[in-house]
Amino acid sequence: MATPAEIAAYVGAAAWLPQIIALAYRRAIKPKVTIVPEKQVEIGYTSFGPIFNLRLAVSAARKDTIIDHVGASIRHEDGATHEFAWAGMRETFSEIKDLSGNMQFVERDYSPIALVLSRFGVIERFFRFQVPSFHSIV
């Protein structure tokens, strides 16, 4: 039979169980990121070097998350592979059409620092990618 001191020790140790379980849960549950690309992409060469641009819809499930790096690897049919790094993104808020039919867009450019994804929404943005080694040459 346990003494009152042992029972108190067991109760005190059991008091830590909710915190330990919550910590293990937070560590074990990883966010699931879903990326849906647009069907058309832009690939070319500009004064910024080789570019690769496309519109993406990005969402997170299970847990909110932060994306701090996005990359793309593109292989040409001749076998050449090019690594592109995230160079920025643009979000279109609205399109305005005047009486003569001219379109104007209300947009915002974002630096490629971080992208915060909530599990309660989808982010749709135009992502720009460039080859990082080109900037070290210029």
For the chain, which residues make up each domain, given as ranges?
A: 1-30, 32-137
**Residue closest to 84 by CA, chosen among 68, 71, 97:** 71
Which pTM does this prediction carry? 0.72
Query: Encoding tokens for residue 50?
Result: 């080789």
Alpha helices in 73-122 (DSSP H): none
Structure tokens given for 97 = 């059409």
**Start-to-end C-alpha separation, the chain:** 79
pLDDT tens-digit profile, the chain (138 residues): 778 888 888 888 888 888 888 888 877 788 899 999 999 999 999 888 889 999 999 999 888 899 999 898 989 899 888 899 999 999 988 888 888 889 998 999 988 899 999 989 999 999 999 988 876 654
**Residue 130's pLDDT is what?**
92
Cα separation, 118 vs 123, whole angstroms: 9
